[in-house]
Amino acid sequence: MMVHKTDATDSGTLLSKPGDEKPVVFERTIVEYKDLSQRFKHGKKDFSKQFCHIYFARLQALTEVLMEKVTEKWGDLKGGRIADLDGTQGERSVVIGTLYKHQRLKPSILREFSEEYQLAPPAPNINYCSDEDLLFLEDEMLRIKLVGNHLNIEQMVTGIVCGLLGILQDDGTFDVEDWCFPGCIPRTVMPSSATSGKILLLSGLDLTNKAESMSMVLLTEWINGMIGDPAIQKEEASIVRVIIAGNSIRGSGEIYTINSLLSEKAEDEEAARETALAAQRFDTFLKRIVECCCVTLMPGEFDPTSHMIPQQPLHPCMIPESTRFKSLQGATNPWIGSLGSRIVAGSSGQPIDDIMKVSGVAEISPLAWLEKTLSWRHYTPTSPDTLPSYPYYEKDPFIMEEFPDIYFAGNMEKYETKLWKDENGEVTRLICIPRFSQSGTAVLVDLETLDTQPISFGTS
């Protein structure tokens, strides 16, 4: 055993007398919070209605807005509904309706049965596009085929309400010259004052396939102010809310076919046990955060909750320890809320993922599609066609009714952001949140300046 000896002069440098400095205490910033997603929460469920009614409600709600946009852009031209085109062959006219993109490769329950029994070759599920895709415009009564060099089928999806300028052909098709969309909803209420504080955006923990790691431990300690110098801890104390955008318990799904369902029963039971254990791990992780910070928890595509959009909040029995704290608010997916004077809205990523499958345009980033949904004034334009959703009858709740200051999509491949400005000069911070299980990255957003910063905790 070796002992290092020091003389009297050295001892003063090794041991220092405690000073009189008092420990620095940072109080967590508090901002008024409101959940504006009541229209996404189910009351009495009724699945007896046809899904077509939501398209009629969508068109009816946006027709007046589009008529104003069309008149402002193209002037007073003939047209309106598809029926109004009768007798206008060869003349420039305007028509308003809902786009329908006919795609042979879209999911079909009949095709799934035929593939199961090997009656037809399986179709690719990563995108639904082919050279045979066709574009139509329809309203409550009629449908018309769209043609022309300005069609741009790839960048259009089913469910968009739009106005078209063009010429009705003798064969009954409509030759498109230009497009007009509803545009981003105007801001109706101006912020009364600047909102101080920051929010932390997080998605894709996937605790079923990736147990709690060092990156999650560092994330928890960072939110709780247990690491870093006083300057870092001051920043951590400015986080007013953590928004978890889905796929926390499970980040991918198990797919079984009809013939293999029985043979995979044991695996199915094992998957259920893994989900239960992951829910317990998530509850433990979440409890550490809600003890000192407010959290909004959204479900994701593969989390154990309803599959149809809008997904309902995770049941409290899934996370019993965390739900004891009032600082935890369960949310729908999509979700809209206000923090001070800022409106924050977003989804766990399914609407953007589905748009990318329907379009098949690899050159367009998820952030660009997120921007397009603002122009389309709709959170989930492809529902209920290729994105499963509840069969709403009288109203389409996914139409944007609030101007979002922060608009995000969770569970994306990588972090992206952009400060988008509308025609009136109002700005929205667009954010793609990466999967934490793969990137170890969360996104910090300043509510006052809308500046963003990716915070990485490693991938171990």
What gap in Å lies between CA 197 and CA 341, rounded to an integer?
12
Q: Which residue has the higher pLDDT, 123 or 324?
A: 324
Are 406 and 429 spatial neighbours (Cβ–Cβ below 8 Å)? yes
- Which CATH architecture best describes the domain 77-180? Beta Barrel (2.40)
Q: Within 13 Å of residue 172, how many CA atoms lie on the same side as its CB? A: 6
Element (H, E) at 416: strand 416-421
Alpha helices, DSSP H only, in 224-362?
230-237, 265-290, 350-359
Q: What would the pLDDT profile of 420-457 be if each residue is shown by its tens digit? A: 998 888 899 999 999 999 999 999 999 999 999 999 98
Query: 97 has which bridge partners?
Result: 162
Q: Among candidates 151, 127, 121, which has minimal Cα distance to 137?
A: 151
pTM of the predicted structure, to 2 decimals? 0.87
CATH 3.40.50.300 at 33-46+187-456, yes or no: no
Q: Is the fold of 33-46+187-456 the same as that of 77-180?
A: no
What gap in Å lies between CA 448 and CA 196, rounded to an integer?
5
| Domain ranges across the chain | 33-46+187-456, 77-180
What gap in Å lies between CA 444 and CA 441, rounded to an integer?
10
What gap in Å lies between CA 339 and CA 33, rounded to an integer?
5
What gap in Å lies between CA 206 and CA 70, rounded to an integer?
45
pLDDT of 289 > 60? The answer is yes
Q: What would the pLDDT profile of 180-228 be if each residue is shown by its tens digit? A: 999 999 887 766 667 788 999 999 999 988 777 788 889 999 988 887 7
Model confidence at 254, pLDDT cuts 50, 70, 90, reads low
